[in-house]
Amino acid sequence: MSKIEEIAEKEASAICEKEGLYVYEVEYKKEGSDMVLRIFIDSDTGVTLDDCEKVSRALSDRFDEIDPIKTPYELELSSPGIERLLTRPWHFDKVIGDKISVKLFKPIDGMKNLTGILKEADDETFTVELGEKTMKIEKNKASQIKTVFEF
């Protein structure tokens, strides 16, 4: 996590806490010719557009005070969505028993894309149940891990 992302997460977390929300993820990256600071917020009951607007305004005001980013950027607030990326250990903890989709950098046992039930996870690995088979996979072997929502 970059220094800007760390500051953004700290400041957004303080604001979110007052609103009964939490920061799910923060990313600061170049998109086209622009820099974008994207903050994903959530709660146990979901996030509304009003929640995003409140946090965005308060965070924008706070950033005007402390000026942590010296170059032009766009601030975006959003929900992580129904199908959300799992990047932090606590993300995995919240979805034990749920269906996940995994994209691997290289095939393991002939499979590069997996969908199954997340059985357990620690800081370095996770275990996914694929029907009759269970696989323990190192997190650094996966290019993407996300929840799967079935309609």
DSSP run (H or E) holding 6: helix 3-18
Which residue has 């929900």 as its token pair?
A: 79
Domains of the chain: 3-78 (3.30.300.70), 89-147 (2.30.30.100)
CA angle 42, 45, 51 (to 5 degrees): 50
Whether residue 1 is predicted with pLDDT greater than 90 in this model: the reply is no
Q: In what order do the strands lie in the sheet with 22-31?
A: 22-31, 34-42, 74-78
Q: Indicate the average pLDDT of the chain.
A: 96
Residues 8-24 have a mean pLDDT of 97
Residues 6+ apart with CB under 8 A from 135: 108, 109, 114, 116, 127, 128
Task: Supply the pLDDT for residue 110.
Answer: 92
Whether residue 121 is predicted with pLDDT greater than 90 in this model: the reply is yes
Task: Supply the pLDDT for residue 114.
Answer: 96
Task: Supply the pLDDT for residue 147.
Answer: 97
Whether residue 151 is predicted with pLDDT greater than 90 in this model: the reply is no
Residues 39-58 have a mean pLDDT of 96
- Over the stretch 61-85, which tens digit does the pLDDT of each residue have? 999 999 999 999 999 999 999 999 9
Residues 20-34 have a mean pLDDT of 96
- Over the stretch 104-120, which tens digit does the pLDDT of each residue have? 999 999 999 999 999 99
Asked whether the beta carbons of 105 and 143 are under 8 A apart, the reply is yes
Burial group, residue 118, by CB count within 10 angstroms (0-12, 13-18, 19+): buried
